[in-house]
């Protein structure tokens, strides 16, 4: 366990706050003004007794608190409290958060390069962004940032913590990392202007291609279509494709729809359901398919969240791809940004999304068809706590039966047994050792075990095809 005065292990629950300066870990951020449907929604009368208690509490604080605080600040705290009590992804945004949100959707910003959320007062690293300062320094998904420049995170407002991690390119910031099984340690990072191309591609072998999506941004759909078309034009016959969504924290819903649309010719892709009419929508294939028959394997892991899970779930339900890796994060909710003023808004969870078969993956995740763990150069096992949506304090329940929600086929108990077995024999690694031996998705093929296995599966599919066709031709 982590031994640090600012770390409280307790239960594996956490209160997440949305990434404020690097990326948007949500199924979709929908900017909206109040509509007629919202304004006419049935509402119950406000409870007078509770309102009276609120005004009394406000009056006591104004008169008796040790330091004078202006009314605007107190009321903003009240809004923050209401939203933080709902679920891990609803939040109040003010001031520089709008600028941060714009940065994350355009793909250019200054910072460290980590997708972050809030856990029990600390900053939880959901995933480091490929090639960023944090990624190069060995920051891992599941790490807790407990101090910034020797200042405890728990004593800061979320905005202040985000602001401290941002800064002028070339300037440095020190963060203290808490990682299970190790003493807290410091990492000094140099801030950079991070311009992200969310899609990268390369040939693995003749006939077999690799596409990596690091995050779903506003232009990811166009980038993906361009990269895929170039791969198809360069190869006379593309025998197989690996789509890597590992450590992809999600992003823009419409971008994930575009990616699925490239592989299926018809049918539903995703639907959203909420209380208001405006929060109910569905997305279907548009007949703009680029590669409808190319054998496809999708790689996911614990860091694959939100929009990544939409892609994996849709392709799995359509039988269009084999999903390989480990269980995904399990974030199946959609947030809507509702402006309150010129520089203030609330980000409110307004709906859940559902895969084509009607599955909700909220707090459940996508279970891969073929489970493949990350590989190590050494025999020592990974000793890093993995956090999922279901671990977060106040997470929304799935609402479906467990078996139907978690997998198109499979048994949850079997997975529990497998998880228990995988934890046996774990040993602790230092930060330096772990950074050196844990293999990322961008290393050479021979050193990336899940990617290597995905390639082997594609080769197996191609080897089986002629046999199947021959047998079909011999059938009476």
Active site (catalytic) residues: 306, 317, 331
Quick count: other Cβ atoms within 10 Å of Cβ 476?
2
Distance CA 81, CA 59 (A): 17
Q: Which bin fits 328, alpha (ψ -120 to 50), beta or left (φ > 0)? A: beta
Cα Rg, the chain, nearest whole Å: 23
Contact (CB, 8 A) for 398 and 363? yes
Q: 281: buried, middle or exposed (CB in 10 Å: 19+, 13-18, 0-12)? A: middle
Residue owning tokens 């208690």:
53
Distance CA 353, CA 283 (A): 11
Its sign, for the CA torsion 39, 45, 49, 52, is: positive
Distance CA 351, CA 361 (A): 13
The DSSP line for 205-254 is ETTEEEEEE--B-TTHHHHHHHHHHHHHHH-SS--EEEEE-TT---B-HH
Distance CA 426, CA 17 (A): 31
């Amino acid at each position: 366990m982590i031994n640090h005065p600012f770390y409280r292990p307790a239960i594996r629950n956490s209160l997440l706050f949305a990434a404020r300066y690097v990326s948007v870990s949500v199924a979709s951020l929908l900017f909206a003004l109040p509509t007629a449907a919202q304004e006419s929604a049935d509402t119950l009368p406000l409870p007078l007794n509770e309102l009276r208690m609120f005004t009394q509490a406000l009056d006591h604080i104004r008169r008796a608190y040790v330091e004078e605080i202006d009314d605007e600040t107190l009321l903003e705290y009240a809004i923050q409290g209401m939203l933080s009590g709902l679920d891990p992804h609803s939040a109040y945004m003010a001031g520089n958060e709008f600028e941060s949100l714009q940065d994350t959707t355009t793909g250019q910003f200054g910072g460290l390069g980590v997708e972050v959320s809030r856990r029990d007062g600390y900053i939880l690293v959901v995933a480091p962004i490929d090639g960023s300062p944090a990624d190069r320094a060995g920051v891992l998904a599941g790490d807790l940032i407990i101090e910034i420049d020797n200042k405890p995170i728990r004593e800061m407002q979320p905005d202040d913590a985000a602001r401290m991690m941002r800064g002028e390119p070339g300037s440095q910031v020190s963060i203290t990392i808490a990682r299970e099984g190790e003493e807290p340690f410091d990492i000094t990072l140099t801030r950079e202007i991070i311009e992200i191309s969310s899609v990268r591609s390369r040939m693995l072998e003749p006939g077999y291609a690799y596409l990596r999506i690091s995050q779903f941004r506003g232009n990811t759909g166009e980038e993906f279509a361009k990269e895929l078309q170039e791969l198809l034009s360069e190869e006379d016959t593309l025998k197989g494709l690996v789509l890597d969504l590992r450590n992809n924290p999600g992003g823009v819903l419409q971008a994930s729809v575009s990616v699925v649309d490239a592989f299926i010719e018809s049918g539903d892709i995703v639907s959203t359901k909420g209380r208001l009419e405006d929060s109910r929508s569905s997305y279907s294939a548009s007949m703009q398919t680029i590669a409808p028959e190319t054998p496809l394997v999708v790689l996911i892991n614990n860091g694959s969240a939100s929009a990544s899970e939409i892609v994996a779930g849709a392709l799995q339900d359509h039988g269009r791809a084999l999903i390989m890796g480990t269980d995904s994060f399990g974030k199946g909710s959609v947030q809507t940004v509702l402006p309150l003023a010129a520089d203030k808004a609330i980000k409110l969870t307004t709906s859940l999304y559902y895969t084509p078969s009607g599955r909700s993956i909220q707090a459940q995740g996508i279970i891969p068809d073929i489970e493949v763990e990350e590989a190590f150069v050494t025999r020592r096992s990974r000793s890093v706590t993995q956090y999922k949506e279901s671990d977060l304090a106040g997470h929304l329940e799935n609402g479906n039966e467990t078996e139907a929600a978690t997998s198109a086929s499979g048994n949850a108990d079997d997975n529990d047994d497998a998880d228990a077995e995988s934890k046996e024999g774990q040993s602790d690694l230092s930060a330096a050792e772990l950074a050196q031996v844990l293999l990322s998705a961008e290393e050479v093929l021979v050193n990336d075990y899940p990617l290597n296995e995905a390639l082997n599966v594609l080769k197996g599919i191609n080897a089986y095809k002629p046999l199947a066709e021959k047998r079909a031709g011999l059938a009476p």
